[in-house]
Amino acid sequence: MSGLELINFYVIPGLISGSIYALGAIGITLIFGILRYAHFAHGDMATLGAYVALGLVGSLALSPWVALPIAMAITALVAVVLDRVFYRHLETRPKILTVMASLGVALMLRSVVQVVWGVDPQVYSTGIVRAESYGGLMLRSRELITFATATGLVLFLMAFLRYTRWGKAMRAMSDNPELARLCGVNNEAVTRLTWVIAGALAAAAGFFLGINTELNTMMGWSALLAMFAAAILGGVGRVEGAVVGGLVIGLVEELSVLVLPSQYKMATAFVILILILLVRPQGIFKGKVL
């Protein structure tokens, strides 16, 4: 196999699914870092976002690319409502109860999608998109857009966290919640903001998953393990960690096909998760260990 083939068949798909994992892992790492629990409904939140976009494409005849920001906004709103209704009342109880509640929410979200859109796989638009050659690199336009949009979203979020008042408040809350409260940071506002970001990015992850392959009701749940592995690999609470972690998991998954039967692609995320917990539980970027 030539180097170019390796890139076209393994590295590019790896980076694409890696950026999708990264978008999901950012939300997971923010929730883990700021609200301090593992959110198991995150994958199904991505599924919901993808299907909301599908609904917009189908009913309003929108272009998928126009539907994407709307679906992100709707999913962000859903995330805030889910927190209000199902998670917030557990705030003062052991965090693991919220983890459990999120497992229930995962099931509920999925069944809503199954009832509304059915269980058959669907696509945003039919027809085969040919890959174009860029000096031997074979890329489809949707892959370029996926990569560009994911990069844009990540840079925007990082700038927000670095330079804005509320971005700093989120970091402060993740760093030292008691002190943040002593500084007058409103816990509720930060929680809401966290869910807006996590929900919107989850929807984007689901959408890109759907547009690069197909939509099915298990897609988010199947990606959940990879997203968690990415968040922990990068370091819990670290956005840049989630991005690097996502890309690493995506690449390793694709490259694993060279040595393992392709059915076991998913297992590589698990292996990476266990290895990182064994050798460096704080992750690459020295995140939190809860």
Residues at the interface with another protein (CB under 8 A): 32, 37-38, 40, 85-86, 89-90, 93-97, 99-101, 103-108, 110-112, 114-115, 118-119, 165, 168-169, 171-172, 174-176, 178-186, 221, 224-225, 228, 232, 261, 263-264, 266-267, 269-270, 273-274, 277-278, 281, 289-290
Nearer to another protein (CB atom), residue 9 or residue 86: 86
What distance in Å separates the CA atoms of residue 129 and residue 16, rounded to the nearest whole number? 16
Long-range Cβ pairs for the range 3-8 (8 Å, 24+): 4/136, 4/137, 7/137, 8/136, 8/137, 8/138
Nearer to another protein (CB atom), residue 110 or residue 142: 110
Closest contact distance (angstroms) between CB of 160 and another protein is 14
Closest contact distance (angstroms) between CB of 277 and another protein is 5
Q: Which residue type does 25 have?
A: A
Whether residue 241 contacts residue 234, with contact meaning beta carbons closer than 8 Å, is answered with: yes
Closest contact distance (angstroms) between CB of 225 and another protein is 5
Closest contact distance (angstroms) between CB of 150 and another protein is 23
What distance in Å separates the CA atoms of residue 192 and residue 180, rounded to the nearest whole number? 16
Nearer to another protein (CB atom), residue 89 or residue 159: 89
Nearer to another protein (CB atom), residue 40 or residue 208: 40
Closest contact distance (angstroms) between CB of 151 and another protein is 24
What is the torsion angle, in degrees rounded to the nearest 10, for the CA atoms of residue 19, residue 249, residue 223 and residue 131?
50
Nearer to another protein (CB atom), residue 211 or residue 231: 231
Nearer to another protein (CB atom), residue 79 or residue 106: 106
Closest contact distance (angstroms) between CB of 247 and another protein is 20
Write the CB contacts of 103 (distance below 8 Å, at least 6 apart in sequence): 40, 41
b (16+ CB within 10 A) / e for 233-259: bbbbbbbbbbbbbbbbbbbbbbbbbee
